[in-house]
Structure 1
């Protein structure tokens, strides 16, 4: 009779504890798929959730595993813990169905149609993952037309991160927000709180004053008595003196309020003080605003490499990396760039064969280009800037001669109109805005065939150009940027001589002074300010295009080369800085 032996399966050489336990990667997913199938078949369900006429069978243990609300309900001493029917009050049935589906499937679609019902119910049921997904969705939808409403919604539902982000967005986009109904519908206390913020981002304080007038005039009968309460938070001393005299002093609402007159007198007295006296004269209205910006990216649009190109790149300041964006509809170099209402305008330029008057518009959220009305004149190597919410296109070359003309685009009505001409033809001109005035710097006068050291200043209130102090040297193709209220002229050339020198204009003293030279000679470079620094992008050194970017710190008077260069070296590119977009999916 044979005997059965037992096989020894224990390892002879290795300790079994050294081996990891077997784990099936899809086990949990498959288990929940089965649980969800059982729920839909009403198998082993031990509770029915009732809202109005909607009844949803479910498993208590599954609901409790994903919701602290249900966990407390089913494990506590309340009667619901033993009940097989739970009725919930004041909860949207569709949102509840979606959330219970999420508990079993881990998937949910947040949309414009359901986010305002989904988030409150996710909050009540303490399903934090869905609440956070709703907040992320709303954050991605922020726009000047809805940011005040989203902020109020976030405040109502205690979504602190979204609340803070929407508040910052509102302050950052104040000049655009004021044109929409949400702003005009705020009450006086809410307006005061907004305009008193030190973080409000405005180019000039005039924009805050004009926003206040717009709000009052929206319902003049009921709001005119609030003007003094509002004007207390407008920093009138920081407004240009000409504007105070021509606009504020003549405003009927100000004339009829003795308190408003006091604010105006304070502002006019401030302008009479010398610079050193202003430094020690401090009131809540003399302190400059210090905006807290959203994350930024640098855009480099088109350019010459060596011919006109369509390429658009962005530089993420935080990541210190370059990214390719959607190309322009057509080749474009020597254009000007402006940003209004979150949209980027590429104005005029050269397409490789013709000087153009066309304008392309880039939407950073959609990463997409469209077109808008063309300028009156063909312009390449022009200067472009934004002043009081309008785009100004200055000088340039039309294919046969340099231009002394300039024009203005009103975004609201979509029309270009000519403004007064400059005193001099200026192609390859640089422009910048300081204290509500537009400066045209240097350039090339085709008539005299000379590069220019002259500078003139445009006052939009009078529609007049006036000469200001000349630069220390001739500069055509200089980059122009503004930091801390000072105007910088960067590089450029005088005939074959390409400069690395930089000088700065102080409007208070009407004088130019030298700062440190750049590392490289550059002409036709893009210049833009961000975070108190001046960035000079690309250009050419007289023989080849440059891909490098230099950064100037005015506090230390030092230039630094960025660690990474553009993907494509280019000159004559348009550059600007925008809020880092959350791209649409």
Structure 2
């Protein structure tokens, strides 16, 4: 009964990811499930959540419910899913294989991916339309960093209130770590504690305002890149105290285990990473061998477990901030030897090309980057002599950078930065 009333309000749509894990969801009737998953207002990180919810609901009472598959799949926006996921997961799902209507929806999605972008617009269907959830309030979390030594401080920026506040400190000092937001938790991966490169990983629960430890990585890494791809947390490259690393490992949150995957073609410390279209990109860095900062970029395909070089940047960048906005990959600042950059370039995977956009207001390297509400934020970093407390954001519509009026309490470079949902 509780969820029935719950379903009539926007709370369910905003908390879809949690609702679908509940017993009550699995006991809903077909009409209620259809009305929920057809809503434009669902707040989800990706359409995968809707597909997995449908499969879970049907499997809960398979003999009775599998006849509803076609009705349910009508509301799953398969064209919005990465093609890797369509091939690996959707096509392999027995419930999809057993329904010709479901296979038609899969073909529609594949066709969508085969078309050039300008022709996709002509495929008008409810399944190609983006969901437009109510914007849940967001916070930017800035974790640790160098100021000038490694620090424990964690600050949060509230975009709505436009102000900073302190939250629970790290269990130990940490800078040059990788940072991601996954499964409602913030992960601080590896880094440097002021004397040693570490393998440890801490996770922060924003609801409890509390840090705890999870499994150690296989390798010590600082100045690594960290990103989430297909539900796994990847730690890419970095520096172990003596040499730059090409090795890459992935963390499975369910089993709390790390395992190695294919290494990169190049050793990369001070590397920036980002995920676009189901591929993981490793941008620039420093290889330690040629004593040169790198302009090369490579991308990882998890299905094939292999790294491939893509188009190079126009400039060498080590310690560049890397972020993803509107399916484009941004490389922000960084340095080439002693020269710290304020220039920014952006990569479009559909054309495999880099182009220059407007310069930042300040030269920055080792800054944190994140995207929120259609803007790209760059946080702190250093200009070659000073650690910066300032934040600026890029608006792709105007091609302009704007400095945020409110600064962090501490100037910091090599901090970890990510965006989270504000705990309610």
TM-score under structure 2 normalisation? 0.94
The 5 Å alignment of 1:236-251 reads 236-251=78-93
Show CA shifts across 1:330-376 (max 9, x none). Answer: 10000111222322111111000000011111121222211111111
Q: Mark the CA change 1:202 to 1:459 in structure 2 (over 3 Å): closer, same or farther.
A: farther
Tell whether the 8 Å contact from 1:168 to 1:293 is kept in structure 2 after alignment.
no
Q: Give distance in 1, aligned partners of 2:320 and 2:219.
A: 22
Q: Mark the CA change 1:210 to 1:464 in structure 2 (over 3 Å): closer, same or farther.
A: farther
After TM superposition, the structure 1 stretch with the greater mean CA deviation from structure 2, 204-213 or 453-462, is: 204-213
Gaps of 5+ in 1: 1-148
1:204: how far off?
Answer: 3.8
Q: Does 1:442 align with 2:287?
A: no
Aligned to 2:207, the other structure's residue is in SS state coil
Q: Mark the CA change 1:154 to 1:246 in structure 2 (over 3 Å): closer, same or farther.
A: closer
What does residue 199 of structure 1 align with?
A: 41
Aligned to 1:285, the other structure's residue is in SS state helix
Bigger share in strand: 2
Q: Does 1:313 align with 2:155?
A: yes
Residue of structure 2 aligned with 1:184, choices 26, 29, 44 = 26
What does residue 3 of structure 1 align with?
A: none
Q: Does 1:281 align with 2:123?
A: yes
What does residue 14 of structure 2 align with?
A: 169
Residue of structure 2 aligned with 1:425, choices 257, 267, 277 = 267
Tell whether the 8 Å contact from 1:204 to 1:436 is kept in structure 2 after alignment.
no
Name the larger-Rg structure.
1
Q: Give distance in 2, aligned partners of 1:181 and 1:355.
A: 44
1:236: how far off?
Answer: 1.7
The 5 Å alignment of 1:123-522 reads 152-154=4-6, 163-164=9-10, 166-171=11-16, 174=17, 177-522=19-364
Q: Mark the CA change 1:335 to 1:559 in structure 2 (over 3 Å): closer, same or farther.
A: same
Q: Give distance in 2, aligned partners of 1:528 and 1:286.
A: 26
Bigger share in helix: 1
Show CA shifts across 1:453-492 (max 9, x none). Answer: 1111222222222222211111111111111111111111
Q: Give distance in 2, aligned partners of 1:481 and 1:361.
A: 21
What does residue 124 of structure 1 align with?
A: none
RMSD of the TM alignment (CA)? Answer: 2.0
Q: Give distance in 2, aligned partners of 1:375 and 1:501.
A: 34
Tell whether the 8 Å contact from 1:168 to 1:294 is kept in structure 2 after alignment.
no
TM-score under structure 1 normalisation? 0.69
User: Which of 1 and 2 has higher RCO (CA within 8 Å, sep 6+)?
Assistant: 2
Q: Does 1:526 align with 2:365?
A: no
Q: Mark the CA change 1:366 to 1:242 in structure 2 (over 3 Å): closer, same or farther.
A: closer
Q: Give distance in 2, aligned partners of 1:291 and 1:517.
A: 32
Show CA shifts across 1:48-96 (max 9, x none). Answer: xxxxxxxxxxxxxxxxxxxxxxxxxxxxxxxxxxxxxxxxxxxxxxxxx
Residue of structure 2 aligned with 1:538, choices 373, 380, 383 = 380
